[in-house]
């Protein structure tokens, strides 16, 4: 097809001149340039687009397809979808537009000479031939034309359940606000109405202009309209036929507005570009899509323009002219259209790699580049299951055991409670639960999982079995006692309150007083976790007054926020004392009872800084890295030393959480931020599941552990990127031990 266009450039431009009176420059830039650009994009990317994807997703041609072109750009709008269909591997029946007689005849000759008949066939004729074509069963129909005809095409396709792409039009407005560049807006809108005599589905149908700048805009619009079309040497196109010429002339004759018509060359079906002002909303010119060189101008603010636009079908395009971002955002947020160009016209049509299509009455489906390729492609999912997987999946076969339902439970990973909305939460990154977030499988195991391409369910089962030693554990929450360290506020405080709201008994260990009103099932004990003897004494009181804790949330943490060389001995004693020694003393105090009963759950709140240290938090990061190591080591000891495989161990590594301890953290690109409520909800979800888990929060940050195996230059780049967030860290100091 490329050589067909190159070899016959002169013949094609002559055919377009005969059909539409189109100047050679316009024919080359509009029809041929766009078509050749699309061919190159398909040739350059077809291997990439057609390649199988993991899992696998194979792209297969839909089969024999029908393409019905449009007369206003007969080569571009007919052959562009043909390029996509051929690239996808389809055989194409092509119906060129009969109104562009010269173009149709030339296309019939060229396609027969340049393109193989086994791949593409042309069918010429009028509505009768098109109707006969639509009675046949195609695997896909691509239609470009009017909304009225599209309804017949869609109805015919529906009889065979044939998918369609419908590229239509609509009454696309231009909205000119008081803050627009008036002369530039007028020039570009006049150009849109001049190009192909306004016979473009994307053309400006009418203009809304702010009353403050209306007169100035109209003056410049009239100037540019005359400039583009004046004189006998005008490059103005003609209207395609007498019927459309009479239709436009009739609408113009019925208008109640003031008509300004530019002078220009005369001839059959020549209609000079026309500006009509003082147009009311119910004017004849706004009764239908104009598809011609008539430009009605309506006085309206951008707010009124939006309301009026929304009162009709969704347009194919909206053009906004303004220098005020808030005005532009208002229009974008409050309208629906196929596409938008800001401070210009038509340009979004040619953006490489972007989809083009309408919405509602202006069309359905997309094309251009990859989107055109996909329109003619079936995405076929192919999964080859290893035979050895049958042992892991044996629970699915009858006779059924309801205990196996746990393999199908969809856990609540919403990240918010009943009654809350997503807007109530401030969480960076994706909310989606990725496989990375289900558990961190280190080194060869993770690599093996990737290579084998294990499915989501299989991976979930393997992770869960590994973290829970292949055993089951049952928790009776009417009897369990949960102990939370650092539960006076922040993450711990929110966790306490969420658990207490479910009727669970909770014990709080903290050196600080509670900053919330505790219900009767919450028991507070003041304790310095760095003092092992004091902790033992308080633990004895808890056991005698409340009972033996069966679940421990090791949440207590301190960050002094100073570079290591500027931190005092007191700073480091406090950080390492609470975050590391306090964690160890807590474990040694409460875990032995769980081990002896082979029942319980220890959850350690670590941090993603345990994988990547940066400015001001070196000692804190070291303590959190130690927490992760303690979790991993304990997990192995529980199994091999204590044989208490029903005791659950979990580790939660969050990113930045909005607590008083980190109020000085600055936001940097790529850093996730979450509320204490969000993280507490995750913690409670793990506890209530009764299963040990090792998760990154949010799940979108699931690649954090990989920092340890990435090249050093990557690690340094990540540290440099994070440094600005912590360079001036002034965390909340509840202890007031140091300056």
Angle at Cα 407 formed by Cα 403 and Cα 408, nearest 5°? 105
What is d(CA 617, CA 572) in angstroms, rounded to the nearest whole number?
11
Catalytic residue among 90, 91, 201, 684: 201
CA-angle at 554, arms to 553 and 555, nearest 5°: 100
Under DSSP, the state recorded for 355 is: -
Find the catalytic residue in 26, 41, 167, 677. 167
* Largest pairwise CA distance in the chain: 105
- Report d(CA 706, CA 715) in Å as an integer: 10
317-321 sheet: strands from edge to edge: 258-261, 274-277, 294-299, 206-209, 173-176, 317-321, 339-342
Is 527 catalytic? The answer is no
How many angstroms separate the CA atoms of 635 and 651, rounded? 10
Spatial separation of the C-alpha atoms in residues 265 and 114, rounded to whole Å = 38
30/719 Cα distance (integer angstroms)? 50
CB within 8 A of 305, min separation 6: which ones?
173, 175, 208, 298, 331
Strand bridging mode 57-61 / 377-381? antiparallel
Extract the tokens encoding 36.
Answer: 């050749």
What's the half-sphere exposure (Cβ side, CA atoms, 13 Å) at 296? Answer: 28
Closest CA to 556 of 599, 526, 595: 526
Q: What residues contact 106, with CB distance under 8 A and at least 6 apart?
A: 8, 11, 12, 15
H/E stretch holding 570 reads helix 569-576
List, in order, residues 6 or more apart from 79 with CB less than 8 Å away: 1, 35, 69, 107
- Cα(437)–Cα(696) distance, integer angstroms: 6
Residues in the chain: 739
CB pairs under 8 A, 24+ apart, for 275-281? 275/218, 275/221, 275/222, 275/225, 276/252, 277/218, 279/206, 279/255, 280/256, 281/308
Decide if 167 is catalytic: yes
CA nearest 63: which of 90, 94, 93? 90
Close Cβ partners of 510 (under 8 Å, ≥ 6 residues apart): 485, 486, 487, 488, 492, 524, 526, 527, 556
Cis amide prior to 280 (ω within 30 degrees): no
Cis bond leading into 472, ω under 30°? no
d(CA 283, CA 348): 29
Q: Report d(CA 384, CA 42) in Å as an integer.
A: 30
For residue 141, the surrounding DSSP H or E stretch is strand 140-144
- The closest alpha carbon to 512, from 477, 492, 487, 537, belongs to 487
Catalytic residue positions, numbered: 167, 201
């Amino acid at each position: 097809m490329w050589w067909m266009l190159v070899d016959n450039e002169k013949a094609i431009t002559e055919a377009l001149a005969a059909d539409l009176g189109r100047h050679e420059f316009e024919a080359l830039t509009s029809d041929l340039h766009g078509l050749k650009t699309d061919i190159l994009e398909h040739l350059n990317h077809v291997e990439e687009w057609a390649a199988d994807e993991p899992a696998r997703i194979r792209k297969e041609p839909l089969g024999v397809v029908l393409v019905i072109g449009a007369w206003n750009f007969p080569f571009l709008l007919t052959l562009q979808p043909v390029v996509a269909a051929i690239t996808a591997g389809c055989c194409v029946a092509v119906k060129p537009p009969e109104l562009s007689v010269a173009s149709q005849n030339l296309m019939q000759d060229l396609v027969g000479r340049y393109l193989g008949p086994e791949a593409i066939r042309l069918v010429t004729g009028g509505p009768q031939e098109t109707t006969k074509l639509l009675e046949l069963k195609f695997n896909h129909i691509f239609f470009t034309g009017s909304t009225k005809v599209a309804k017949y095409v869609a109805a015919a396709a529906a009889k065979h359940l044939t998918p369609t792409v419908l590229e239509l039009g609509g009454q696309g407005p231009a909205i000119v606000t008081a803050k627009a560049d008036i002369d530039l807006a007028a020039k570009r809108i006049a150009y849109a109405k001049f190009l192909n005599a306004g016979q473009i589905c994307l053309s400006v149908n009418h203009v809304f202009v702010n009353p403050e700048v209306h007169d100035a805009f109209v003056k410049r619009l009239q100037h540019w309209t005359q400039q583009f079309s004046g004189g006998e040497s005008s490059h103005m196109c003609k209207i395609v036929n007498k019927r459309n010429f009479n239709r436009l002339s009739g609408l113009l004759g019925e208008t109640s507005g003031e008509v300004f018509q530019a002078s220009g060359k005369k001839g059959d079906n020549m209609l000079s570009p026309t500006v009509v002002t003082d147009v009311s909303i119910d004017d004849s010119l706004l009764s239908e899509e104009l598809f011609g060189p008539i430009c009605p101008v309506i006085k309206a603010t951008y707010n009124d323009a939006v309301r009026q636009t929304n009162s009709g079908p969704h347009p194919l395009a909206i053009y906004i002219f303004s220098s005020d971002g808030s005005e532009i955002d208002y229009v974008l947020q409050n309208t629906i259209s196929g596409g938008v160009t800001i401070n210009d016209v038509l340009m979004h049509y040619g953006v490489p790699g972007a989809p083009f299509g309408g919405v509602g009455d202006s069309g359905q489906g997309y094309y251009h580049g990859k989107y055109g390729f996909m329109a003619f492609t079936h995405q076929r999912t192919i999964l080859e299951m290893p035979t050895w997987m049958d042992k892991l999946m044996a629970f699915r076969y009858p006779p059924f055991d309801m205990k196996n339902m746990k393999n199908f439970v969809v856990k609540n990973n919403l990240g918010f409670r009943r009654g809350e909305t997503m807007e109530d939460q401030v969480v960076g990154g994706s909310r989606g639960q990725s496989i990375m977030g289900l558990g961190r499988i280190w080194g060869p195991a993770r690599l093996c999982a990737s290579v084998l391409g294990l499915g989501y369910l299989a991976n979930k089962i393997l992770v869960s079995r590994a973290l829970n030693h292949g055993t089951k554990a049952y928790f009776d929450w009417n009897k369990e006692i949960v102990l939370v360290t650092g539960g006076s506020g922040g993450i711990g405080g929110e966790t306490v309150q969420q658990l207490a709201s479910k009727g669970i008994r909770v014990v709080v260990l903290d050196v600080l007083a509670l900053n919330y009103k505790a219900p009767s099932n919450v028991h507070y004990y003041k304790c310095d976790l760095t003092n092992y003897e004091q902790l033992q004494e308080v633990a004895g009181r808890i056991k005698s007054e409340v009972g033996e804790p069966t679940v421990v949330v090791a949440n207590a943490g301190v960050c002094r926020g100073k570079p290591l060389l500027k931190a005092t001995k007191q700073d480091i004693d406090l950080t390492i004392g609470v975050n590391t020694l306090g964690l160890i003393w807590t474990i040694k105090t409460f875990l032995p009872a769980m081990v002896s009963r082979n029942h319980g759950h220890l959850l350690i709140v670590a941090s993603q800084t345990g994988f990547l240290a940066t400015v001001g938090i070196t000692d804190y990061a070291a303590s959190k890295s130690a927490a992760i190591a303690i979790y991993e080591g304990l997990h192995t000891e529980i199994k091999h030393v204590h044989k208490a495989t029903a005791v659950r161990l979990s580790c939660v590594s969050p990113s930045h959480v909005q607590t008083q301890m980190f109020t000085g953290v600055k936001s940097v690109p790529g850093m996730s931020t979450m509320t204490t409520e969000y993280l507490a909800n995750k913690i409670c979800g793990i506890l209530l599941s009764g299963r040990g888990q090792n998760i990154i929060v949010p799940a979108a940050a699931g690649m954090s552990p990989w920092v340890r195996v990435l090249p050093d230059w990557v690690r340094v780049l990540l540290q440099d990127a994070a440094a600005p967030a912590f360079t001036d860290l002034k965390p909340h100091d509840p202890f007031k031990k140091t300056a």
